[in-house]
Amino acid sequence: MEQIKRFDMEMKPKKEKFYLTPVAYLLSFPTIWRRHLKVNKVNMKGIEHPYVLLCTHHAFIDFKVTTRAIFPKRATYIVAIDGFIKREKLLRNVGGICKRKFTNDPLLFRHIKYSLENLKTICAIYPEARYSLVGTTAILPDSLGKMVKVLKKPVVVLNMHGNYLTQPVWNLTMRKVPLRADMTQIITSDEAKSLSVDEINQRIQKAFIYDEYKWQKDNKFKITYKDRAKGLHHVLYQCPSCKKEHEMDSNLNEIWCKSCGKTYEMNVYGELHAKEGVTEFSHIPDWYEFMREEVKKQILDGTYRFEDDVMIDSLPNSDGYIRLGKGKLIHDMNGFHLEGPNLKLEKEPLAMYGLHIEYDYFGKGDCIDLSTLEDTYYIYPLNQKNVVTKLHFATEELYKLAKEKHI
């Protein structure tokens, strides 16, 4: 592994090649036309270019919506390293800037600054750093406010709707849902200079609020897809009735607990109803936040701990994954501890405000990934099943707790 060439993170961003722009339009516009995309622009008239574009992150279709929203302008884009696999040259030539997720990378700020000041182009950033798990806002980094303060550029938020419902991360089969987006300038260049970092972060967080299931219900968009609940147990892993963890399963329009047998149906508006007895949570995000609170309780009373044998893949560059072999992963109050063949990695709670997870990643199983500035490790639990969502909750709650103590 020491002899393998690493991804060149220092290479400066490029403007999109002129001959690739029609290709981007050809790949994007037919999809958004079929979905009847409507972009509601607020406070965008006469906006100063270039600007920082912060986008919510729901599904792959996000990039197509973004292309339409900024038309006829083009942008540079922050893209995770796995997006560069086997297509590094292409992504660089359409303005891709590589990022290893949930790492403190000063190079990224320099690339964003270069894009805005030297290339004079919009820089699109997806600060949630992963697809939304249940169609609600993920944790955002505090560093956004500091970045905006230093850059002194306008900030626009693209809050998209329908993208998650079209292709939720726990079941990637496409569903037919209309697309909408609110594109709002929330900070002018003058405000970027005058507002405090806390005030900037507050504006960003307010603009990023979304709840796709509420949006679906309020707008009465029906999803009649017969497997609309299949895969939902990956996210809703704990039964709200008997409180057992990792015993949930799902298929068609139902999710149920294999321990107590309680079953819930999802209707065409994304609501859950118990087939018998009390419906603890009809709104999926409420069930999701219930599980977060359960994990937080375990952390506060000192009982939280995860340990399992794992399979480890490495992604040092854009050539693809390298199988390192078996190892052991521990996650507890001290953060992550990973050991594998010629590998030892520690990640304390303050080192990661969030965790990137995948469900059945390329058919290899659920995984998490942990990154250094030179490598990204994809880690697959071998014995415990349906645990990565809980690891994600624990990472966020441990970070919040450590941050409070640090302050």
* pLDDT over 70 at 331, yes or no: yes
The better pLDDT of the pair 363, 2 is held by: 363
> For residue 354, what pLDDT band results from cuts at 50, 70 and 90?
very high
The CA–CA distances, whole Å, from 337 to 104, 105, 121, 141, 143 equal: 18, 21, 40, 23, 25
Average pLDDT, the chain: 96
Token look-up 């500091």 returns: 146
pLDDT digits (tens, 9 = 90+) for 144-188: 999 999 999 999 999 999 999 999 999 999 999 999 999 999 999
First to last CA, the chain: 39
- The yes/no answer on whether domain 18-217 falls in CATH 3.40.1130.10 is yes
pLDDT digits (tens, 9 = 90+) for 380-395: 999 999 999 999 999 9
**What is the mean predicted confidence (pLDDT) over 313-329?**
97
pLDDT digits (tens, 9 = 90+) for 65-117: 999 999 999 999 999 999 999 999 999 999 999 999 999 889 999 999 999 99
> For residue 37, what pLDDT band results from cuts at 50, 70 and 90?
very high
> For residue 2, what pLDDT band results from cuts at 50, 70 and 90?
confident
CA-wise closest residue to 355 among 305, 405, 389: 389
The domain limits of the chain are 18-217, 232-300, 306-406
Cα separation, 249 vs 236, in Å, equals 9
Assign a CATH topology to domain 306-406: PH-domain like (2.30.29)
**What is the mean predicted confidence (pLDDT) over 349-374?**
96
pLDDT digits (tens, 9 = 90+) for 227-260: 999 999 999 999 999 999 999 999 999 999 999 9
> For residue 407, what pLDDT band results from cuts at 50, 70 and 90?
low
Cα separation, 45 vs 182, in Å, equals 14
* pLDDT over 80 at 373, yes or no: yes
Q: Is 343 exposed, middle or buried (0-12, 13-18, 19+ CB in 10 A)?
A: middle
The CB-side HSE value for 150 (13 A sphere, CA atoms) comes to 10
Cα separation, 247 vs 2, in Å, equals 41
Cα separation, 65 vs 33, in Å, equals 10
pLDDT digits (tens, 9 = 90+) for 45-71: 999 999 999 999 999 999 999 999 999
The confidence score (pLDDT) of residue 353 equals 94
CA-wise closest residue to 354 among 302, 393, 313: 393
* pLDDT over 60 at 295, yes or no: yes
**What is the mean predicted confidence (pLDDT) over 305-332?**
97
**What is the mean predicted confidence (pLDDT) over 302-325?**
97
Cα separation, 230 vs 212, in Å, equals 18
State how beta strands 254-257 and 263-266 pair. Answer: antiparallel
